[in-house]
Each structure stands twice: as structure tokens, then as C-alpha cells.
Copies of this chain bind each other. A is one copy, B any other.
């Protein structure tokens, strides 16, 4: 168990801003990234919090990303807002287009954001929770790198292709999930490798396409999707909607583009927004009660809703005014400033 230290809530953003500016990000990108890291760290989501500063620094040091470039919105009368990140980090592009997406969803009932040409490293739940905070349902999908074999396949074609969804609950934390369509996250396999533990069945194949429980063989081979052929079909859908549909790369193209260099992957993203008021003919309140009966029946039988632990962490950290992070992480981050 690593020693934890306390960081004040303001200090999460301040530390992030200092690291990002020092690394070469312009103020607009630094602020958008710092806001995302704050949101994740506040929920004790360590893997997508301050820890991600290393990836941000690595990506800009590799000369891949433009830390200054501003996203450009494509004006339209349709229900789609297209935003070109122009080779910058995705977060500023999503932030710039979010008011348009919300406005279009309220006007048209359903709307979509297509983000192009961006580096992507963040969790998707903070983005769909921006929609549920506005009373809209949100869904987000991205490809990644082609580490994952399709069902019945032997090599990587698909990305870890996460799907995130958030549903607004009146006066409560939203119903939110955000999961990779791979059986395991890539980082989980690396944790098994470091711990010298065998992988469970059904997680990966080796370089010959044969089932393996060896973490290194899995990293050299390909991961599998969750849920067999159904998870595989879902992952292919995400490739199509967050890639060819929006004129952006598949996971395979993104991996080829990265050419073995580390840092954040480069590809597109799609976010859908649904207005319950338009869909229900103005009966959103009655249907909020209907959704709550569904959630109650799930909770009454001892099951948990996804993200419940995260919301508990958020409430606790907001109340006490600080988060806890590993001391080693804090020291490593300080080193980035010297």
C-alpha cells in the first residue's frame, strides 16, 4: 500500500496548470486539460486524474501535438456539430462544441457532436455527465489502437473502444457508465504482468491467435472483447460510428499513424445527446419518476448502479476539501516542474 498525501481541491488544478504550461501547452488547452484532470481526480479516478499529466507531457515532448492550436467549429443548420481539433488535444474541442451540442439537442430533440483530428486521452464519462447535468441523456464513443481481436479472430483489428452513457436523474447524481469493450483494459494486463499473475480465460490470444493466460503473450498478441461475439459486434459498431461515419480514423489507422510512438492516440470521437422533453412529448417529469422506479428496483435487490462509488468519492472529497493521491505520484509530478 503506497503512502497517500492530501492535495487541496484548488491545488489539483494549479499543479496541473503549472505542469502543462511548463510542458508547452497554451493557456486554453492547459485550462481545459486541468479541468478534466480535476473532474476525474475529484471522483478518486486515479487512472484518469493527475497521473495523466505524464501522458500529456510525453505527447507534447514527442512533438506530436500542437499545444497552441485552437479548434474550429463547422457551422451548420443540421443536428450535427462538427469540430476540427486540428491536431490539438480533444478536450478543448469538446468544450468549444458542447454548448452547440446542447442547443441543437434542445432544438432538434436529438443531436450529435463529431470531433475530428484530435489527441484523446481522457475518460468519456466527464463529457456525457456535462450533458446529463443539463437534463439531457448522453452517449459517447471513441476508437483507440488496434489491440483487440474480433470474435473468432486471431489478431488486433479493433480498439478498446469505450462506450459511455449518462442519464439525468432529477435532484440526484446521474446514472452513468463508461466501459471499454475489451474484456480487460490494457493497463490491467500490465498490472497482471507486474504482479506475475496469470490472466483469466477469455481475455487474450497470443501472437499465433491461440488463447493465452500469459500477460506478456497477451501484450504481444491481441486482447479479446468482453462478452464474446456480442461485445465484438458492439466494438465494430463503435469503430464505424466514431471512425468512418465521422470521416476519421479506425483504430487500425490510428495505430499505424502513431507508428510505435507513445503518448495519446490520434483519432475522432462521437457524442450523442437526447432531450427527454422532446422525446416524451413534454412528459419528462413523469418519466423521471418511471426511471427512478427502475433504479429503485435494482438497488432494492442489493445490486449497485455503475459509478456509485465514484459519486460517493465526489461527495466525500467535496465535503472535506481535498483528495488523496499517492505520495510517489506527487513527487514525480514535482519533478516535471524542475
Question: A residues touching B (Cβ–Cβ < 8 Å)?
Answer: 74, 76, 78-80, 82, 107-112, 114, 137, 139, 149-155, 157, 163, 165, 167, 175, 177, 179, 181, 209, 226-231, 233-234, 236-237, 239-241, 243-247, 250, 252-253, 272, 274, 276, 278-281, 283, 286-288, 290-291, 293-294, 297-298, 301-304, 306
Enumerate chain B residues within 8 angstroms of A167, measured Cβ to Cβ. 237, 240
In the assembly, what is the distance between CA of A303 and CA of B205, in Å? 14
Enumerate chain B residues within 8 angstroms of A274, measured Cβ to Cβ. 112, 241, 245
A107-B78, A110-B80, A110-B110 known; A247 vs B153 contact (CB < 8 Å) = no
Contact in complex: A246, B279 (CB < 8 Å): yes
A165-B237, A227-B231 known; A279 vs B247 contact (CB < 8 Å) = yes
A-B contact pairs, 24 of them (CB 8 A): A79-B108, A80-B108, A80-B278, A108-B108, A109-B112, A112-B279, A114-B279, A150-B298, A153-B298, A154-B301, A154-B302, A167-B237, A175-B236, A177-B237, A179-B230, A181-B230, A209-B301, A240-B291, A243-B290, A244-B290, A245-B276, A246-B280, A247-B279, A252-B294
Enumerate chain B residues within 8 angstroms of A253, measured Cβ to Cβ. 290
Most buried by B among A175, A226, A272, A298: A298
Enumerate chain B residues within 8 angstroms of A230, measured Cβ to Cβ. 177, 179, 181, 226-227, 231
